[in-house]
Amino acid sequence: MPDVISPNNGLIIGHWQPDSPTVIGAALDNLAPASAAIAVPADRIALLQSIAAKLDHHRADLAAIIIAEVGKTPAEAMDEVDYAISFLTCGATSVSEAEQPAASPDRRLRIVPAGPALAITPYNDPLAGIVRKIAPAIAAGCPVIVKPSALGHLTAMALFEAIAGVDRTRAATMVNHPDRDVLHRLISDPRFRVLSFTGSTATGRVIAAGAGLKRLVMELGGNNPFLVLEGADLDLAAADAVARKTRAAGQACSAQ
């Protein structure tokens, strides 16, 4: 049973139980019925709005877990909850707009489900990093299974407990296991038609090699230089650089 150690003080703040083959198998078997359950656009809009309302209701609790688990400041944690909610509301709006009559059939936004998705998410945005993947998946009619980072497991667990309260279709579920063989079996499972991963370039290459013919959505590595041009306000630039490079305890993408 893996420990969860807070970066704030080095203390164990929780544990988590890796999912059994039975639990993982049930999640995979649910992909087909979940696809059928979210086929109607109005149902997807209602689900996205319900999840957004649920997260808003539990915003303080979610922020507290983010602070304890990944070391963000209270302001950063609350911003992340708002950021996560924005993906859900944007997804609902996109589905609604796609259902509106267009002035010309050629200009109409069409949403065509690509199929069930596997999303592998990072720890530095343990809430928004997941929601930014599941919101567009649901909006497009694609059920999604999330494999979160072990370093953000408590936040992910709290998120999916909240989702379970409003998602009877289990369109978005979570499985987690530290064994790489389990992850490789998920990656290669033919029931997934889309694979989304955010993380290192090296890991992304391994995942892509085992993904087969799945559609890949990858956000890999990163190098975010901070350029100060001639004539810039140096005091402002210095303050901005410090803010960007220390955000989220130095674990934000802008800190790379």
Residues serving a catalytic function are 219, 253
The single residue listed with the structure tokens 């078997």 is 29
- Beta-carbon contacts of 143 under 8 Å, excluding residues fewer than 6 positions away, are 30, 31, 34, 35, 38, 116, 117, 137, 169, 170, 171, 172, 173
Do residues 167 and 51 make contact, with C-beta atoms less than 8 angstroms apart? yes
Residue 205 φ/ψ region, left for φ over 0, alpha for ψ in the -120 to 50 degree band, beta for the rest? alpha
Closest Cα partner for 9 from 80, 75, 76, 67? 67
Strand partners, 197: 120, 218
Query: In this structure, is the dihedral angle defined by the CA atoms of residues 28, 32, 33 and 39, taken in order, positive or negative?
Result: positive
Task: Write out the two tokens for 59.
Answer: 């915003």
In this structure, what are the phi and psi dihedrals at residue 50, rounded to the nearest 5 degrees? Answer: -70, -40
CA distance 201 to 210: 14
Q: What is the DSSP string of 178-218?
A: S-HHHHHHHHH-TT--EEEEEE-HHHHHHHHHHSTT-EEEE
Query: Strand pairing of 144-147 and 172-174?
Result: parallel
